[in-house]
Structure 1
């Protein structure tokens, strides 16, 4: 296309801006991805509109949308950038020399089962890689990935398949199931549904608006439990159960090792499906070699633990 030749003759960086804008459909997020200022990306968009004599991106009900002309450009743009990258990208990636800060959202539970092994691996293989760990609610974590605030989120995200999260990729780490933790002196074995509903419960939830698969399943059966204590940190929940009539229903891996010493890990007395524990990221990170390496380390550590 003649317009592509005009860009090649003037500024190849405009191709990168066009790629980011078509994928992000948002000037601020494109700027974040390119590590440029928003005014610089807006100026580049104005130049692209002049070159192609087309608005390329227009505001719609769901943010900025590509025009027919922009969609026509997408495939040749992809081919052109793939050729350029194949010529200039380094053939080898050395993590041991990589300086990087990764911002990761992990729940209390996820940190307990993953973080010690991951930090140990990083200190051995990637001593210049640093981690900042936050514990965001589910929807906040997904929004932070989209906005570029986070690099990776690891946990349970039931809404990942919704259209609003179409730009997020994910991989399954393992399937998890629920179990109940109770004080050994306060209950009979096995625990039945009537006893389960008659007792107060502890709920671990970072955000008030995070949905609970447990309460959704009970609602389908026409029941509702009483949440006597809601806390944001899993680590304190078992101590709240000990010596009380409270029940904690949570991920099995986090409590099965506590059975004994005055506590019991019991089966949930109604049907609860297993749930996927995943790592998820924005597709802008797909070609990031260091990010790909980190995801691979997490997958490997989970398989090793299993």
Structure 2
């Protein structure tokens, strides 16, 4: 037999069909080919395999010993190809026990995750989630090595590792938080007044994100003083409540502190950008049915979250 590189694999389908039909016209009809095309394919098979394969006898066309010897191997090869090329199995959330690992922000975990999980469990009762912090290792290695399925809620990134992609997910209005007795700020701030305040912010645990707020101030030849960088919103909000510093954060998160801390909302400068949250994943696994399903659920939840007035969308 000649090199496989010289062998048209479509001829294997012709071979199996001929062995089954043992009739050129019927094989051509089964393959939706013309009889001349099928006869040409048989000629090519005979040349490549150096064997007549089918011979006319008193009982009709009969396979040669060589053809009968090849048939099981060819059938098995075609079966393996069909199985390998078949679409991946459909993900069935109602039956799945898949555990997803999400790396996410305080905002998503506090504001959205409990409701998101409770809604999913109503029709996917056996699935589970693990929630982790977003770290540089998650973005550089965790996604590629499948330690994390998706990064949820991180602000848009200018630079990400090779193979890691981000897609816009939802936007949230930013507000400022100040202590109730903070006399340094009124109900709203201009950009100059904003820059003049002392600030509390969250530490950038991702290791990649430049501060969009600082970028905005730089564009207007302004800077600010950050007196405290905290790992979570509640600690940062408590610092705000006890000092004359302000904090800039998503509205839905800020409103959670109003009943429990002596703080108030302050309108930020119009120039500040909104929070553009993303879904980040590795392209190696982005088309796997469970990951496609997870992204669809997150997008549907975000749309409902916004449409129900729970967050503000630009």
Q: TM-score, normalised by structure 1?
A: 0.65
- Tell me which residue corresponds to 1:205: 203
Q: Which residue of 2 aligns with 1:175?
A: 171
Larger Rg: 2
* Aligned residues of 1:96 and 1:127 also touching (Cα < 8 A): yes
1:252 aligns with 2:248: no
- For 1:167 and 1:298, how far apart are their aligned partners in 2? 21
Indicate yes or no: 2:146 matched with 1:148: yes
Q: For 1:117-148, what per-residue CA distance to the aligned partner results, in whole angstroms no more than 9, with x for missing partners?
A: 122123222222221111114x4432121333
Residue 2 of structure 1, aligned match among 1, 4, 25 = 4
1:95 to 88, 93, 96: 93
In the alignment, structure 1 residue 289 sits paired with structure 2 residue 297 = no
Q: Number of residues paired by the alignment?
A: 230
Unmatched segments (≥5 aa) in structure 2: 10-79, 307-314
Alignment of 1:109-258 (within 5 A): 109-137=107-135, 139-143=136-140, 144-159=142-157, 162=159, 165-186=161-182, 187-207=185-205, 209=207, 210-256=209-255, 258=257
Does residue 280 (structure 1) correspond to residue 280 (structure 2)? The answer is yes
Query: Are the counterparts in 2 of residues 156 and 275 from structure 1 also a CA contact under 8 Å?
Result: no
Q: Which has the higher helix share?
A: 1
Which piece of structure 1 moves more, 280-289 or 127-136?
Answer: 280-289
- For 2:293 and 2:213, locate their aligned partners in 1 and report how far apart those are by CA, in whole Å: 35
Task: Give the gaps of 5 or more residues in structure 1.
Answer: 8-80
Task: Provide the rounded CA distance (Å) in 1 between the counterparts of 2:187 and 2:219.
Answer: 25
Query: What is the DSSP-based 3-state SS (H/G/I as helix, E as strand, rest coil) of the residue aligned with 2:101?
Result: strand
Task: Give the whole-Å Cα distance in 2 for the aligned partners of 1:2 and 1:235.
Answer: 65
Q: 2:175 touches 2:267 (CA, 8 Å); kept in 1?
A: yes
- Residue 256 of structure 1: how far off its partner (Å): 4.2
Pick closer, same or farther for the CA change 1:5–1:102 going to 2, 3 Å.
farther
Q: CA RMSD in A?
A: 3.2
